[in-house]
Chain A
Amino acid sequence: MTIRNNITFASIPKNEGMGFALQKNPKLVIQDVIESGLKGCGGAGFSTGVKWSYAAEVKGATKYIICNADEGEPGTFKDRVILAEWPDLVFEGMTIAAHAVGASSGIVYLRGEYTYLREGLEACLEERRKAGALGENIDGKEGFSFDIHIHMGSGAYVCGEESALIESLEGKRGEPRNRPPFPVECGYLGMPTVVNNVESFAWVSAIFAKGVRWFNQAGTEQSPGYKLFSISGDVEYPGVYEFPMGVKLSEILKDAGADNPKAVAVGGASGTLVPPSNFECKVCFEDVPTGGAIIVFGQKRSLLDVAENFQEFFADESCGQCTICRLGNAKLLEGVRMLKEGKCTEKHLDDLCSLGSSMQVASKCGLGQTSPNVFLSIVQNFREEAMECAVNNPVLTSKEASHNIFQSVVRLFRGEEVPEQTVSNHATTTSKGA
């Protein structure tokens, strides 16, 4: 059971939005998308309509519409659900985009981990071709041809960044490009390219089916509309939820059944770690932005374990192009482990924070810019806990751990109470081979 509340996409009839959009002049279509205020749902939050308008301005070139289905952010799985449940809406959205900017070719960049979704998507594409919703003269519209094919990713998180994704499509290493020029001017094969997230395309279809007003009256001024959230971690009901933008984090937590969390990562591993004092914050681009990932950490979780997991992820996934990201993430990982072992001085911690701040400004792409976020949030909000971690949860050698287990067993036999966490810290340190 993944879907947890009423999601608009379930109620949108097939091809309704596309039918309306294709009857309109491309300029008006773009105007509508701008007016709806829809912002990219992958996390960066750039206006979808404005992006389209840039691509539409370039005349006479072959243009491409790319659907970014390389959903790799830890804690995010909404796109998987959309692709499995409502693929038509995504393909419709791509077709509307093609009509708006004048493109004839579309590509879905599907992450390798989602290969099992491919069969269903291909079947859906085939069905649409047969129904005349893809191919030549779509919907009976003379001269409008558009087709979509699926390209498989190969297991690289950084390819979710749009210019890295384009590099990967061109058969190269997925290393982000310098920008400008932006993909809307010079993207796939040097041509104007619109890259949007799966969810963004689906919302476009919904907006044309239900109307611009319906969408932009919800949400906040800077972040209109609705958004899907992937909620996981220490909650009663993990899954995909829909909320209007600007919803209070505490409301999300209440609906998902979070019981007095210690902290919440909004935006996944590259997002912000929100402490309880700030649970009343609004989830939107003005306050705490997110691509939809909400990971909840209960009272018993060690935030240093969380930071270690995230830094392992980034150290592994950094493309290595920018020195500060490549080495910075390795340094932060080392720092987290020093904290866990009680070997980190206050001075060194300050240095690490300064390194993190440098990474935020000196990295080329979003990966490096956001990878120190959680570490910095932990130091900012939970500095004492981080520094005292080693004292409160000493890291045990395997000999000490076995001794503790032995002691616990003896105590159990004697009917005495066994202290919690006798061995757990040892278990996490041995898993470092990961």
Chain B
Amino acid sequence: MFTHSPAQQRTTPLSSEALVVEHDVLQKEIDELIKLKGDSRGELIPILHEIRKRHAYIDCFAMQYVADRLGISAAEVYGVVSFYSFLKEENLGKFTIRLCRTISCDMAGKQLIAQQLEKELGIKFGETTTDGLFTLEWANCIGMCDQGPGLLVNEQVFTEVTPKKVREILDGCRKTYQENKQGGS
């Protein structure tokens, strides 16, 4: 939890729909966020959450700029980002799948689901598929111990996952993505 540099951890190249944002665009976004939420220290994490939600990760520029706007040092912002697993992760994919690895889900067969996910997606945990759709991560206890194995897809929860259900979940994501894409264009 304490030695992690978001900038150095990137293992996958950015996808074609690059999540790279021009600095002035990012700056504008952060300005708007601060206008909305205020510039008190207590808003730091909600602001970072929002940046993290819109982009794949929180980069050094964003950290420095947020720090300047809130009147704190960039090191403090970095300290916060690197502390929280939901902020420090680099989820380049549109869908981040977090499989619970803690005891009850482990006993319910999380290893089988992990293998299935890795095989279906062709990536390991901590990686993103080349089409930029899926990122695979581990989660510590997600509170679904009575219905394991459990996993989260972005904010949605799935329980009693079976290898068959893994395919359904992934297909569901792909379908949602296609629909959104068509709806957007």
* A→B interface (CB under 8 Å): 2, 71-77, 79-80, 111-116, 151-152, 154-157, 168-174, 189, 230-234, 238-240, 265, 269, 293, 295, 297, 301, 305-306, 309-310, 312-313, 316-320, 326, 427-428, 431, 433-434
Contacts and interface: CB of A to CB of B under 8 A. Distances in A.
B22 to A, nearest CB: 26
Interface string B143-163: 111111000100111000000
Contacts of A326: 2
A72 B106 contact: no
A173 B80 contact: yes
Contacts of A234: 107
B37 to A, nearest CB: 11
Contacts of B107: 233-234, 297, 301
Of all A-B residue pairs in the complex, the 5 with the closest CB atoms, nearest first, are A171-B44, A154-B84, A232-B145, A155-B85, A238-B146
Contacts of B102: 74-75, 269, 309, 313
Interface residues of B, number: 43
Nearest to A115: B155
Nearest to A240: B146
A323 to B, nearest CB: 12
Contacts of B140: 72, 74, 155, 157, 313, 316-317
A171 B146 contact: no
A73 B83 CA distance: 18
Nearest to B124: A433
B1 interface: yes
Contacts, number: 140
B1 A170 contact: no
Contacts of A310: 103
B41 interface: yes
Q: Which of B49, B86, B145, B148 is packed against the most chain A CB atoms within 10 Å?
A: B145
Contacts of A230: 145-146
B131 interface: no
Contact of B103 (A74, A112, A157): A74
A75 B85 contact: no
A310 B79 CA distance: 26
B146 A112 contact: no
A77 B102 CA distance: 13
A2 B156 CA distance: 18
Contacts of B43: 171
